[in-house]
Homo-oligomer: A and B are copies of this chain.
Amino acid sequence: MAVENGKADYGIVPLENFYNGEVRETLDSLTECSQTKIIEEKVMTIVHCLGTLKNSKEIKKILSKDQALEQCSKYICENYPNVKTIATSSTAEAVENIKEKAMTDAGAIASEEALKSSGFNILDKDICPKNKTRFIVLSRKISEKTGDDKTFLVIHPPIDKSGILYNCLKTFSDSDINLELIQSRPNREKGYYFYIELSGHKEDERVTKAIEKLQEYLDPKEEYPNTIKILGSYPNSHWKE
């Protein structure tokens, strides 16, 4: 919102985690913006560790941010099947809570640095291997073409036609445009928003024409606002490779 209303030049928010999938709050917020564009993607490797206080006994509960608990759920199930998980507002808060309350029966999932700097014992390192999160950089400017770009758009079909998603995908397939991500979110009515990330810059002729064709199919008289909203074009980081 700070980028949208001009209080900040740039913002950075998580879009997708390798294990958890898309970040819903980000998708929902992007739908509400009109000025804000995605100008870049940045990938960060996330190394979760499990730590306890030095004098701790058997672990009966594990504290961490909800997303971190989800990402590590396989590890927790396999290694601490009977432990209670408690969500905190950040991984740092998990560490602080345990320290402040001198909880000797609790573990925290956080980064190695956060655990060490609070004097915790590290019981296990990188408990959710290969974990990474894709962040997007937001701005009110637009990124220029680099020749290897992606475009992110949100489609809000004005009428609940049957087979809408199929026809959207067909338009891109017919234009030989590769899709990198497809997601849907309920629109708080009976329908859905569809989020599509495709290969190519929005100024590439192939992309421009496909989007025109899609607009023609979904809302030929342009009666509805934001039937197709382009959320930005930006260089492809090939983050999953």
Contact = CB atoms under 8 A, between A and B. Distances in A.
How many copies, total? 2
Interface of A: 17-21, 24, 66, 70, 86-87, 89, 162-163, 165-166, 169-170, 172-173, 178-179, 182-186, 188, 190, 240-241
A162 B182 contact: no
Contacts of A70: 24
Contact of A162 (B66, B87, B178, B183): B178
A19 B169 contact: no
A186 B21 contact: yes
A183 B184 contact: yes
B162 A166 contact: no
A87 B63 CA distance: 12
A188 B184 CA distance: 20
Contact of A87 (B21, B87, B173, B241): B87
A198 B190 CA distance: 17
A132 to B, nearest CB: 11
A21 B186 CA distance: 6
A57 to B, nearest CB: 23
A19 B20 CA distance: 19
Contacts of A89: 86-87
Contact of A169 (B86, B165, B190, B241): B165
Given A66-B87, A169-B169, A19 B240 contact: no
B163 A173 contact: yes
A174 to B, nearest CB: 10
A182 B184 CA distance: 8
A190 B16 CA distance: 13
Nearest to A16: B186
Nearest to A167: B173
A165 B184 CA distance: 13
A190 B20 CA distance: 13
A225 to B, nearest CB: 20
